[in-house]
Amino acid sequence: MKLPPLRTVQRWSKWFREGWEEVEDEDRPGRPITETTSENIEQVRDLINDDPYVTIDELEVQSGLSHGTVQRIVSDHLQLKKITVHYVAKHLTNSQKAKRVQICKENLLKFEQGVWKLCDVVTGDESWFYHK
């Protein structure tokens, strides 16, 4: 745990000697510290589901939330990260993992049976390859 600076402790000590009994900060005007409510999380989730190519800046404009809040919701609450130009889950579900294993086994079987050659398998994301 990081200790507060000496000046802060001195200020607090002075306030308590003067009769200050509350340990909570007084209300301050302005935007609340956090906007990560369940409604805002769902709003950002819906915006991403509607357009997985949306950027943080676009989410900020569409939701009316701050850049930091949108980033925190996407990363921490929705557990998403940007890959190439769309959001994907940071962690795959068990069914997603099982589906990938199944597809890989099918592809391996086709390769072993000679139906496919290694040069026939091209993987990529949002790239176009032309072969003559």
More confident site: 49 or 119:
49
- The H or E element spanning position 43 is helix 38-50
> Percent of the chain scored above 70 by pLDDT?
75
In whole numbers, what is the pLDDT of the chain averaged over residues?
Answer: 80
Mean pLDDT on 59-79: 90
The CATH number that domain 34-91 falls under is: 1.10.10
Query: pLDDT class for 121, splitting at 50, 70, 90?
Result: low
The alpha helices in 51-93, defined as continuous H runs, are 56-63, 67-72
Query: pLDDT class for 46, splitting at 50, 70, 90?
Result: very high
Tell me how far the alpha carbon of residue 42 is from its chain's centroid: 13
Q: In angstroms, rounded to a whole number, what is the distance separating the alpha carbons of residues 7 and 113?
A: 75
Of the candidates 43, 4, 41, 48, which has an alpha carbon nearest to the alpha carbon of residue 23? 4
Mean pLDDT on 9-14: 88
Query: pLDDT class for 44, splitting at 50, 70, 90?
Result: very high
